[in-house]
Amino acid sequence: MSTTRTGTISRRSFGLLAGTGVASLALPTYLRAQDKPRVVIVGGGAGGATAAKYVAKDSKGAIDVTLIEDSDTFTTCFFSNLYLGGYRDFNSITHGYDALVSTYGIRKVTGLAMAVDRMAKTVTMADGAVVPYDRLLLSPGIDIIYGSVPGYSEDAAETAPHAWKAGPQTELLKARLDALTDGQNIVMIAPPNPYRCPPGPYERVSMMAHVLKSKGFTNSKIFVIDPKDKFSKQGLFQEGWDKHYPGMVEWYGPDVHGGIKSVDVAAGTVETDLDTFEGALLNIIPAQKAGAIAAAAGVAGDSGFCPIDAASMRSTMDEAIFVIGDASIAGDMPKSGFSANSQAKVAAMTIRADLTGSKAFPAKYSNTCWSLIDTDDGVKVGAQYEPKEGKIASVEGFISQTGEDAALRKATYEESIGWYDGIVADMFS
């Protein structure tokens, strides 16, 4: 099989090859020539970067791995709240792909994957380049559904950031937060389920409150307008808000606010059935769906997320495609970087078994989410998961308790720093 210097095959030459004989078509693509089997991964975050590394590392050069990611660097959503709170600088949560390329021989294609031809098994890039695969792994994260909040839009996000994808939006939110003066309020609209990082909005509230408190503000408030009637680690966060930021945070569930009617980012208002909330800073976190490439590939379901086989992370719609991370419907697992990293290892093992006949072991998944409420006050929730009756089910778990002593909370925060360094090393080095 001929390849161009970049390793891609044009649609036309693929067609010519396919026409050379029925016998050759009956064989897997990778057996038709000396070429190695090809794995293409779309998305270079906690799922995609981990999967690329593990396929390349564990196949010891037997599989050709291409990682398609639009950016040269990756800023982690996890710990981006700590950047907002002033505990981390932006560079410390931003990472490059150099080691994946130099250490593991992964080919990094920088660009946007636009389409998937599942018959031809190719990914088409925005610039028209075509990347062939034997197995495709999609880890595109989330897309924001701007229209889920009436009055909100991609343009409006330049005034009222969602900051639910780490990067310029996060920097914008930080700049707006740091520019507030005492007496100015923040209004957050929290997202409906299912969404990336269940405790994330509430850790963010904590970090924004920490910034206001640190400046000695006593007249500013943070209003949280939530479409959900409860949220992750609720007891822990509410205890922490009362302890560290008394009177500053007001959380409104749907039974109180009665429904979110509209936002006006120019006026800085959020209108609900109960009242109109006014803020010098609006942080609007809309509903979410799988990143666009999932729908373009036709592997997203009606929910906007992608159904998968619980034992392998393989798409239930195409056996040559895997979907991991926030884009997948992963049963009881939360949409988190830890989850995506865990799912990546199961998918990588299954892909290697598909392509090289290596042994596949029973799938096991795990997750832990740490959250920071104030300096040295960390909490965590974690669980283990296994495939059960067709879905990924929680089989064991724990959560931090209210009333824990300061030493334990500090140890939990320190553990989270160790985890951050660990997972980014696992992804990128």
Cα distances (Å, whole numbers) of residue 370 to 100, 292, 367, 414 = 27, 29, 10, 10
Please answer whether residues 57 and 104 qualify as being in contact, where contact means their C-beta atoms are separated by less than 8 angstroms. yes
Residue 412 to residue 142: CA distance in whole angstroms: 28
Q: For another protein, give the closer residue by CB, 330 or 383.
A: 383
Least gap, CB of 380 to another protein (angstroms): 7
Residue 295 to residue 91: CA distance in whole angstroms: 32
Least gap, CB of 328 to another protein (angstroms): 18
Please answer whether residues 297 and 118 qualify as being in contact, where contact means their C-beta atoms are separated by less than 8 angstroms. yes
Q: For another protein, give the closer residue by CB, 223 or 322.
A: 322
Cβ contacts of 105 within 8 Å, gap of 6 or more: 56, 61, 65
Q: For another protein, give the closer residue by CB, 274 or 411.
A: 411
Least gap, CB of 389 to another protein (angstroms): 17
DSSP bridge pairs for 394: 385
Please answer whether residues 44 and 71 qualify as being in contact, where contact means their C-beta atoms are separated by less than 8 angstroms. yes
Least gap, CB of 345 to another protein (angstroms): 4
Q: For another protein, give the closer residue by CB, 189 or 383.
A: 383
Least gap, CB of 412 to another protein (angstroms): 9
Q: For another protein, give the closer residue by CB, 5 or 359.
A: 359
SS3 (DSSP) at 62: coil
Please answer whether residues 326 and 48 qualify as being in contact, where contact means their C-beta atoms are separated by less than 8 angstroms. no
- Which residues bind to another protein, rule: CB under 8 A? 54, 58, 338, 341-342, 345, 349, 359, 361, 364, 366, 368, 380, 382-384, 395-398, 400, 411, 414-419, 421-423, 425-426, 429
SS3 (DSSP) at 103: helix
Q: For another protein, give the closer residue by CB, 213 or 391.
A: 391
Residue 406 to residue 349: CA distance in whole angstroms: 41
SS3 (DSSP) at 56: helix
Least gap, CB of 366 to another protein (angstroms): 6
Least gap, CB of 306 to another protein (angstroms): 22
Q: For another protein, give the closer residue by CB, 328 or 367.
A: 367
